[in-house]
Structure 1
Amino acid sequence: MHKISALQAARGLAALAVIAFHSLFINAKYLAGATWLPDMFVFGQTGVDLFFVISGFVMVLASANKFGGRGEVLGFLKGRFLRIYPVYWVYFFAVMLVFLLKPGMVNSSQAGEVSLLNSFLLLPDVNLPLVMVAWSLIHEVWFYLVFALILLLPRRWMPLVFVAWLCAILAASVLYTSPANPYLRVIRHEFSIEFIFGALAGLLYLQVVSGAFQWRLPGALVGLIGVGLLAYALASGTVDGSDVIQSISLQRALIVGGGYTLLLLALALQEFKSQWQVPGVLTSLGDMSYSLYLSHILTLSVCGRLWVAFGSVEGGLVASVVFWAISLPVVIAVGYMSYRFVERPLTQRLSRRRAGRVSAQSVAN
């Protein structure tokens, strides 16, 4: 797999963007009055859009030599399972324990209504999962299942297959409203457009770096167009903080998803061309992005409850500054500790066990 530091850094920045978005709700819940948090933090919601674009890009790069191989599908699904579920289950069981002991502390926004089985398996449901941020993982699981089927096809078919999938989502978005059935809702959701954009960008990147396609557009121009699309989305109110579980606007998927895709493609090609890499602190942030994403709402909720418990109920600008000066470093610290002592050891151990079984099967055969 091609290692691109810009993509890894983008993961970290996407996690920070989501934290910025959720900070608005935490501030409104636990502090009153003025706040230093700007309204533009609403745009941080698009950190999820960025995650989906990165996912499509990375899936293509990670599977560059696996297309058309029937024996690759099971290995791909096992790898994705080990990457997503074990770490997620650590948080699931931790939150479930709280839910069983004090139901009112979990998912209070939906009166504690949650399917534990669907949450455990990351299956679509009419309600949010027990770990609320895991709703985006449900989309990831869907993307992985579709991508596993695509792996069965020859690589030369990939552009056509992804374009056909894109056209199907575009048609469904225009012709049909978001269905009530949670499975159909995920299947036709506009988030698929952003995953497809990322996958197409990944295919183009592979063509360029292999010399099969002569890239003539200046990377700076491509990146500038991407930034321009994102700036337009921010200025025009394309992202307004509304619920994205049911659907997002087609305009948002095309403009925000397209903007992030062009920006990432430009950075990836520039990195390949000049061999530059982003600062290590950003790639480290990307390394811990999954743990940071899973833990941040829980950490902020604990910070908010402690803030209220210690009698800090007065609001205002000063209180907001103090609260976030304490809470944001705690969020990063918890995310890092989760990565360092839970995610990395767990994934490494499971990966070694999987590699050992594969080696044993190869010897036996």
Structure 2
Amino acid sequence: MYKLSSLQAARGLAALFVVAFHSLFINAKYVQGESLLPELFVFGQTGVDLFFVISGFVMVLAFRNKFGLKGQVAGFLKGRLLRIYPTYWVYFLALFFVAQIKPELVGGSQNGTVDMTSSFFLLPDSALPLLMVAWSLIHEVWFYLVFALILILPAKWMTHAFAFWLITIIGVSIFTHTSDNPYLRVMFHEFSIEFIFGALAGIAYLRLSLVTSPPLFSILLMVLAGLAGLVYALASDVVGDADVIQSITLERAFAIGGGYTLLLLAFALLEAKAKWMASGLLRSVGDMSYSLYLSHVLTLSVCGRLWVMTGLNGNSVWHALLFWAVSYTAVLVVAYFSYQLIERKLLNLSHHFRLPVRA
């Protein structure tokens, strides 16, 4: 698989967006400064939308030559599950042991309703997982299962399969209510639309970058259209206070998911055409984005508790900004060491357990 700097940078941005969003709640709890942080931070929750778009894009690029070939599905699933679970389990087990000793420190907002089996295996459940941010990983696992089925098909049917999936999700969203069954809720969640958008963008990228050379004007139009979608979403409060675990609106899926998709495709094409390279700093954050995503809420919470102990938790803009700067730095430092000492080592170890994939 060739590596696009724009994809890694987008991962970095997505992770930083999510950290900004969660810092709102930590500030409100420990610094009493929720109203002092920019409202734009609320839009940071769309970092998850961007992650889903990137995931679809990457899957198509990584397995573009594997569709319709025998022996690919088992290797694909094993590779993806080894990518997600080992690092996640480190954080799950750490929280699990803390919960046995001081349960009040873990999952306080869930009223003790966590299902440990569902949390461990990332299965859909009516309650959030023990590591609350892992709810998005449940969607990723579902995306991988569907992608594995599409991988069985010949490459010429790939676009049709994604289109059928897209129409199914839209139809269910329009004509039915959100299901109380957690499995059905994940299967037909509108977040799937964003993964599909990313996959379709990946197909478009392969055709446009390898067959033709799109003019820079076309790329500019994609950027403007993508930005327009995000500006519309921000101006019309598409994000709002919705419970994204239950469902999101089609408006959000198309405005935000579509906006991020066009931007991702545009910068990927720009990289292929003009040899443009994304920021090295963002690429570095992108490399450790999984560790950053898993660890950031825990790091922010620890920073908040320590901040209260210093007596600096006053209700002023300077307290809020200082806490934000210190905690954000801590989040990046912890994520870096987690990536180097846990994630990378587990990734290297997992290579010994992967199935050989037949061409």
Question: How do 1:124-273 residues align onto structure 2 when only pairs under 5 Å count?
Answer: 124-211=124-211, 215=214, 218-273=218-273
Kindly provide the CA deviation profile for residues 211-249 of structure 1, in whole angstroms up to 9, marking residues without a partner as x: 1x6746611111111011111111111111422000001
Aligned-pair distance for 1:358?
3.6
Mapping 1:1-40, distance limit 5 Å: 1-33=1-33, 36-40=36-40
Q: Which position in structure 2 is the counterpart of 1:354?
A: 353
**Partner residue of 1:51?**
51
Alignment identity in percent? 60
Aligned residues: 357
**Aligned counterparts of 1:117 and 1:33: Cα–Cα separation in 2:** 36
1:288 shift after superposition: 0.4
Give the C-alpha shift of residue 195 in structure 1.
Answer: 0.3
Contact kept, 8 Å, 1:35 with 1:321, in 2: the verdict is: no
Q: Is the 8 A contact 2:28 2:34 kept in 1?
A: no
In structure 1, what is the equivalent of residue 97 of structure 2?
A: 97
CA 1:97–1:225 in structure 2 vs 1: closer, same or farther (change >3 Å)?
same
CA distance in structure 2 between the aligned counterparts of 1:50 and 1:76, rounded to whole angstroms:
22
Q: Which residue of 2 aligns with 1:333?
A: 333
Q: Which digits, 9 at most, give the CA deviation of each residue in 1:82-141, with x for residues without a partner?
A: 110000000000011111111111111111210111000000000000000000000000
SS at structure 1 position matched to 2:126: coil
Distance 1:126 1:148 in 2: 26
Question: Are 1:323 and 2:337 an aligned pair?
Answer: no
Which of structure 1's runs of 4+ aligned residues deviate more than 6 A? none
Whether the aligned pair in 2 keeps the contact of 1:104 and 1:112 (CA below 8 Å) is no
Q: Is the 8 A contact 1:34 1:317 kept in 2?
A: no
Rounded to whole Å, the distance in 2 between the matches of 1:191 and 1:174 is 14
Letter in 2 for 1:57: F
User: Does the CA-based 8 Å contact 1:35-1:316 persist in structure 2?
Assistant: no
Give, in whole Å, the separation in 2 of the partners of 1:339 and 1:85.
Answer: 14
TM norm structure 1: 0.94
Structure 1 residue 49: deviation in Å? 0.2
- Match of 2:65, as an amino acid? N
- Deviation at residue 173 of structure 1 after TM alignment: 0.5
Amino acid at match of 1:56: G
Contact 2:27–2:33 at 8 Å: present in 1 too? Answer: no
User: Partners in 2 of 1:298 and 1:125 — Cα distance?
Assistant: 22
Shift of 1:24: 0.7
Q: Which amino acid aligns with 2:258?
A: G
TM-score (norm 2): 0.96
- Deviation digits for residues 122-167 of structure 1, max 9, x if unmatched? 0000000000000000000000000001000000001111001000
State whether residues 34 and 315 of structure 1, in contact with CA within 8 Å, keep that contact through their aligned partners in structure 2: no
| Further displaced range: 183-192 or 101-110 | 101-110
Q: Which residue of 1 aligns with 2:302?
A: 302
Distance 1:34 1:88, change over 3 A: closer
Cα offset, 1:349, TM superposition: 2.1
Give the aligned partner of residue 118 of structure 2.
118
Letter aligned with residue 280 of structure 1: G
The two structures, once aligned, show a CA RMSD in angstroms of 1.6
- Aligned-pair CA distance for 1:320: 1.2
**Could you report, residue by residue, the CA deviation over 1:156-185 in whole angstroms, capped at 9, with x for unpaired residues?**
001111001000000000011110000000
- Any gaps of 5 or more consecutive residues in structure 2? none
